[in-house]
Amino acid sequence: MAVFAQDPAYLREDGWRFLLSGGLAGWKTQDGSAMPWRTARGITFDGGPRLGATAAPGDRIMNAPEGKVANLVSRAAFGDVELYLEYLIPKGSNSGVYLQGLYEVQVFDSYGAVSLKSSDGGGIYHRWIGEKPVGGSAPRLNASYAPGQWQSFHIVFRAPRFDGAGRKTENARFIRVVHNGQVVQENVEVEGGTRSHMPIAEEARNPLMLQGDHGAVAYRNIYVKEVKLP
């Protein structure tokens, strides 16, 4: 299993765009409500299910101490991308990174878990059809750190393809997901939006969504690099 120990891609390569350069100016809530997320200079963790934050504005974002607020959606839309970000969750927490607002890479406190599912950290979450889970991809291994530590994802994502009439010709695909330096997903096809996705159609370009209503979570160093994949 490949392990990557070098600096993150956004520090080593040209073409990466920082999505928090204006704080939360480049983001909105999924439901159109007032912005409950906040920027912070530092995040605190006391070992329990909540997070805290310094009052001063800073370069990281947090949903709320109890973690039950509207999902966060980028104002920009993306097609094929590399995405790098870092997150921090407390004990028992749950969030998710939705490529194009539709296809989730799971953020979950899976530290110490042995039997892994699509709902564990680094999993490609399942779809929800007929009140039943369908598909999904469990991570190859458990790369999760203990709660309260910053963790990273480096995701290479290929958007769905459409013909000139707007008919989908190829499904979305996760080319690779690297979780805390270890490859946990490769070449995973996703036939449609995973559970709790945004109520939008599959398109060549759609926004990024960060889940904010399942538990406390903080994010930092959110970078994207638009690419053209074959």
Above 80 in pLDDT, residue 1?
Answer: no
The overall average pLDDT reported for the chain is 95
Q: Assess if CATH 2.60.120.560 describes domain 9-226.
A: yes
Average pLDDT over every residue of 190-198: 97
> Tell me, what's the pLDDT at 3?
54
For residue 67, the model assigns a pLDDT of: 86
pLDDT tier, 181 (very low <50, low <70, confident <90, very high otherwise): very high
**86-115 core/surface letters (b: 16 or more CB in 10 A; e: else):** bbbbbbebbbbbbbbbbbbbbbbbbbeeee
pLDDT tens digits, 2-17: 555 688 999 999 999 9
pLDDT at 213: 93
Q: What percent of the chain has pLDDT over 90?
A: 92
Tell me the H-state helices in the chain.
9-12
Judge whether residue 228 has pLDDT over 70. yes
Cα separation, 42 vs 63, in Å, equals 13
Phi/psi at 10 (5° precision): -65, -20
Contacts of 27 (CB under 8 A, 6+ apart): 19, 35, 37, 72, 73, 74, 75
pLDDT of residue 69: 96
pTM: 0.96
Q: In this predicted model, what pLDDT tens digit does every residue of 92-108 receive, in sequence order? A: 999 999 999 999 999 99
Per residue in 46-91, pLDDT (tens digit) is: 999 999 988 778 999 999 888 899 999 999 999 999 999 999 999 9
pLDDT digits (tens, 9 = 90+) for 107-165: 999 999 999 999 999 999 999 999 999 999 999 999 999 999 999 999 999 999 999 99
- According to the model, what pLDDT value does residue 171 have? 98
> CA 46: distance to chain centroid?
24
pLDDT band at 189 (very low <50, low <70, confident <90, very high): very high
Task: Name the nearest CA neighbour of 64 among 169, 211, 197.
Answer: 211
**Helix or strand (DSSP H, E) at 189:** strand 182-190
| CA distance linking residue 172 with residue 163, whole number of Å | 14
